[in-house]
Structure formats: structure tokens, C-alpha cells
Amino acid sequence: MSRPLIGVTTYLDPARWGVWEMPAALLPAGYPRLVQAAGGIAAMLPPDAPDAATAVVARIDALVVAGGPDVDPARYGAPRDPRTGPPAPERDAWELALLDAALAAGTPVLGVCRGMQLLNVALGGTLVQHLDGHVREPGRFACHTVKPVPDTRCGTLVPEAVEVRTYHHQAVDRLGAGLVASAYAEDGTVEAVEPYGAGAWVLGVQWHPEADDDTRVMRGLVRAATRA
């Protein structure tokens, strides 16, 4: 059986390597490593013209929307909180177009951190723009316990309470159309979302599975991509 092609969205930021300093399409190495460990092939999807999204989704077997900067609150009709980070308009436009195309095509989707938040926004939901306590030290993941909801996709993949790596100061507020919360932190923060009932394989997680050794969530995506 051939390994499915998993498209993973990227940052577009200034970077330095060797003698070079210039804009770069960036992706933490944990993402492709996790895709590969789960049995897939990773393909980077840097920001592009939104009207290319449908053609891109037609060429991949599944989509991962990676973590990254805060979603522009204008995308969900909210005034900007002064603690919200700078907007990333190219990423917002590209990733929303990819999500729309993937959801329309029934392509399996995994949203990670920002990716989960953007999935919620794509379906009409809103975000809490600042949440204390989930980032303890800049540039370092925190750990906390997540409790999956039984009889959900998340709860089937990860049935027990589990320690996860996390780094975010925003969270889901009002759920998008058709979504249910399928995991929670101990303080009640929504830690996973997914569509209600049967249908295409779609899951968003607030934590960072690419920063851990637990491949279960990504294996679920890869299995769905293999069947699609």
C-alpha cells in the first residue's frame, strides 16, 4: 500500500541559516517527523494564492494546518485585543481557503493549535483572544492534562487523560457550525474539536502532537487518508 501524501501548512517568516538571512517558508521538523512516523509522506504547503487551494487539495490525501501566529480577529468579527499578536494575512487567507476546499472535498483534516482555532473560525466560530496560564515561558512548551470526551473521534484515538505539550494564549470560544468539543483541559479550556456525527475525518487539537512521541492522532489522520 502506498504511503499517503499529507500536506502541512507552513510559516512564512524571516530566517537565518549559514550565510543567508531572508524570508523563508518554515516548518518545525516535528511535523514531518510525526507524519513519517505515522506512515505518511509530508509535503510543505507555504502560503499561496487562495484560488489555488482547490487544486492543491485535489493532489493531497490529507491536510494538516500547523500551529503559528494568532488568527486575525477580523476573521471572526471581533475587535482586536491589545494582547493579540500581529496578523498574518497571507497565512490566514491561504489556510482558510485550504480548509474550505478540504471540507468541501471530504479530505481528512487535522488542525494543530492555531490550526484548530482556524478550523473553528472557518465554520463560523469565535476565539478567546487571551487566556492566562497556558504559556509559562516564551519559546518553551508547557505540559498539562487533557481529558478526551468518550465516544468522540478524539476520545477513540486517545481514550485516557493524557499529558500534552501546549503553547498558546488563545482558545476556542463559540464553537463553529456542526462542531463539538471532544477534549478539555482541567480548567475547562476546549482542547479538541470535531464535527458532530459521521462524515469526513476532521479533528482539531489545541496541543502540539508534533512535540511529543505520541503518534495516535496523526496515525488516525494517515489511516483516514489511506482510505479516502
- Which secondary-structure segment (H or E) carries 173? none
Alpha helix segments (H runs only) across 5-65: 30-37, 53-59
Q: Which of 95, 113, 134, 168 is catalytic?
A: 113
- Strand segments, DSSP code E, in 84-130 are 109-112, 127-128
Which residue type, as a one-letter code, is found at position 14?
Answer: P
Q: Is 143 a catalytic residue?
A: no
Pair type for strands 11-17 and 20-26: antiparallel
Cell of 52: 489555488
Residue 162: strand, helix, or coil:
strand
Q: Is 208 a catalytic residue?
A: yes
Q: Which of 95, 134, 191, 208 is catalytic?
A: 208
Q: Which of 95, 191, 194, 210 is catalytic?
A: 210
- Residues recognised as catalytic: 113, 208, 210
